Structure 1
Amino acid sequence: MAMNAKPDKQFRQTTNKNTTVLIVVFILLLVLLAILLFTCRQQKLSTGNKYKHDSTLNAMQIPAVKPADQIIEHTGYTLCFVPKYEQASWVAYVLRGNQLQAAHFDRTNQFMTDPLAKPHSADDEDYEASGYDRGHLASAEDMSWSATTMAESFYYSNMSPQVPAFNRGVWKRLEELVRYWSSAYDSIYVVTGPVLTDGLPTIGHDNVAVPQFYYKVILEYNPQGVRGIGFVLPNQASAATLKSFAVSIDSVEHLTGLDFFPKLPDDVEGKVESNLDVNDWLWTRKRARQAQ
C-alpha cells in the first residue's frame, strides 16, 4: 500500500491542476463572451442613434456664423439676434417626432424679454396696440417637449411682428406640416426667420422691424440620404397651398444672404440646396390637408 501512495498523490495533484486550468479557461471564455456581447450591443446602439447624438450633426442646423453675429443658445433652439431689427435673423433647431410624442407641455403665453439679448430684446409695449401678432419663429408647439423649452419659446427674441391672418393662417399651416414631417421622417433640421432688409416699417418704442417675408428651410439627414426644401411666404393672409411657396434652399440663401447647412460636405450641400422636387416630400397631414 505504501508503494501506491506516491503515484496516487501525483495523480490527484495532476487532476487538481487540470481542473484549475479548465476553470480558469472557462472563466476567461465567459469574460470574453461578455465583452463581445457588450461591444456588439454598443455598436448596435451607436449605429441606431448615429443621426441623433453625433455632436457634428447636432450642429448641422446652424447657418454659417460671422464674427460680429450675436448668437444666443437656449435649451431647444439657437438664434442669431440682430439688435438693429430687434429680432432674430434666424432660429435653428432639430425637431424630433419621438420627442414631441413623448411629452407635451401646454402653452404658457408668458411673453418675456430675452435676458441674453444685448443690449435688450423687444418687450410687451412694442407690440401693444400695434395691430401685429407676436409671431413665433421657433413654434411653441415645436418646443412643447419640456417645460423649459416651452417657456423659452416665448422670449421676444423668438418673436417677429406678423399680420394676424398670416400668423394664425398659412404660417400655422406650415408649422403643422413641419411637425408632421418630424414624425414621418424621425427628425429634421429646421432654420426659420424673417427676411430682414433696410427700410422696413417698424413698431413700438424699440423700432421693431416688420418683415415683408418669412422663410423656413428644412433638411432631412438620414442613412438613406439627404434632402432639403425651402419656403418663402409674404407676411399676409393666404389660402394658397403650401406647395406654392416651396423653393430651393439656394433661392432662400440668395434672398437672405445666409449660408444654410455649411456642415454638409460641399458636394452634398450643393446638390441638396440647388435641387427641389416637391414630390419627394409627404404633404398629407392629420389635421390639415390644404397643402395637397
Structure 2
Amino acid sequence: MAKRKVRKKKNTQRGKSFWVEIKRFIAIVCVLIVAIIGLSFLYLHYVPEEKAQKVVDGIVQKVPEIIESKAPNKLKTENLPTGAEIPVLKNGAKQQIIKHEGYTVSYNSDFKIPNWVAYELTREKVSNNKVKRHNKFIPDPEVKGATALNEDYTRTGYDRGHMVPAGDMKWSEKVMRETFYFSNICPQDRGLNSGVWNDLEMTIRVWAKEHKRIYIACGPVIEKDLKRLGKNRVGIPRMFYKVVCDPEKAQSIGFLFENRDYKQTSPRDLAVTVDRVEEVTGIDFFSQFPNEIEKEMEAKVDLKFWSFFR
C-alpha cells in the first residue's frame, strides 16, 4: 500500500510539473507573438518599407524554430534513442537478452521460451519480400543453457508458435532464419496460431506500411506454475500478449490472448491498453519515451487510429 501511495504521489508530481511546463510554453509563444507584432509596427513606421519587410519576414521564418526549441517533451518523440522498443522485465523472471539482427529476445531458460521479443518494423522492410519462408526450427546458437527441441512438440497438439512472425522478416535470409530459433517459439494452440493471432500479424504489417515504422513487443505471460511440454519441460503459456506503438504519433495499443481457439474473433475485440498488458505481465514497455508521453499513450487506446480488417 505504501508503494502505491508513493507511486501515486510521484505520478501526481510529474503531472503537475508537466502542466507547469505547458503553461510556460504557452507564455513563451504569447510573448513571441506580441514581440513580432511590436517589431513589425516599429519597422513599418520608422524604417524604409523594403528593409522593414525583409526583417519581418526573417523573424517570422525563425518563429517555428524558436517554438520547437522551447516546446516541452510532450511534443517531441522523433529523438528517441535506438532500441526504444526494448521492454524492461520487472517480474523477476530469469532472462538472457540476445540481440539478433531482426529482433531482440529476453530468453527464459527455466521455461525454454521467451519472456518477450521486440523489434522495429518499417514500411521498407514489409515491402521487401525477396525471401521465402522456410520451416527449419533450430536451437538459438546464442542461448546459454537448456533449450526446446523439435521432439518436445511432436504429437502434443501444440504448434511451434512464432512470437516474431516469419512474415515480418522476408527482407533478409538471415533474419528469416532467426525467426525459427526456439528462443522465438512457444507452445501455442493451433486455432490461436492460425486464427486471430495470425490475423493480428497480418494487420500489423498493414500498420507498418501506413505508419512508416512501428515498435512491436510480444510474448507469453510467464507464471510460476505453467504446465510443461516434452523431455525438455517447455513451459506452456496460458496467455500471450502483444503491444504495438507508433513512435511518431505517440499512439499505442495492446492485446491479450488466452492460449485457445478464438474462432472468428477479430483482433479488434481483444484490444486493451498497454497499461493493462503491463499489469498482467510485469513488464515495462516503451520506457525510453518521455515520462508524460509514455503515461498518456499507454493509458488509452484510440481504435480509430488503428485500422482493422474486420
TM-score, normalised with respect to structure 1: 0.76
Task: Please give the alpha-carbon distance, in whole angstroms, between the structure 2 residues aligned to 1:172 and 1:97.
Answer: 19
User: Is it true that 1:269 corresponds to 2:294 in the alignment?
Assistant: yes
Q: Which one of the candidate residues 222, 234, 249 is aligned to 2:258?
A: 234
Provide Cα deviations, 1:252-278, integer angstroms capped at 9, x if missing partner.
000000000110011111001111121
Task: Please give the alpha-carbon distance, in whole angstroms, between the structure 2 residues aligned to 1:199 and 1:155.
Answer: 25
Contact 2:216/2:243, CA 8 A, preserved across alignment: yes
User: Is it true that 1:64 corresponds to 2:88 in the alignment?
Assistant: yes
In structure 2, stretches of 5+ residues that fail to align are 1-75
Instruction: Return the letter of the residue paired with 1:177.
Output: T
Map of 2:141 onto structure 1: 115
RMSD of the alignment, in Å?
A: 1.8
Aligned counterparts, 1:1-292, within 5 A = 56-65=80-89, 69-222=95-248, 225-238=249-262, 239-283=264-308, 289=309, 292=310
Between the aligned residues of both structures, percent identity stands at 36
Contact 1:121/1:156, CA 8 A, preserved across alignment: yes
Residues 174, 139 of structure 1: CA spacing in aligned structure 2 closer, same or farther, 3 A cutoff?
A: same
Instruction: Return the letter of the residue paired with 1:84.
Output: D
Provide Cα deviations, 1:81-137, integer angstroms capped at 9, x if missing partner.
011111101000001122221343111211100111120321111111111100000
Map of 2:59 onto structure 1: none
Question: Residue 250 of structure 1: CA displacement?
Answer: 0.3
Task: Please give the alpha-carbon distance, in whole angstroms, between the structure 2 residues aligned to 1:182 and 1:104.
Answer: 17
In structure 1, stretches of 5+ residues that fail to align are 1-49, 284-288
Structure showing greater Rg: 1
Contact 2:106/2:114, CA 8 A, preserved across alignment: yes
Contact 2:77/2:289, CA 8 A, preserved across alignment: no
Contact 1:113/1:120, CA 8 A, preserved across alignment: no
Contact 2:84/2:287, CA 8 A, preserved across alignment: yes
Instruction: Return the letter of the residue paired with 2:216.
Output: V
Instruction: Return the letter of the residue paired with 1:144.
Output: K
SS at match of 1:115: coil
Question: Residue 57 of structure 1: CA displacement?
Answer: 3.5
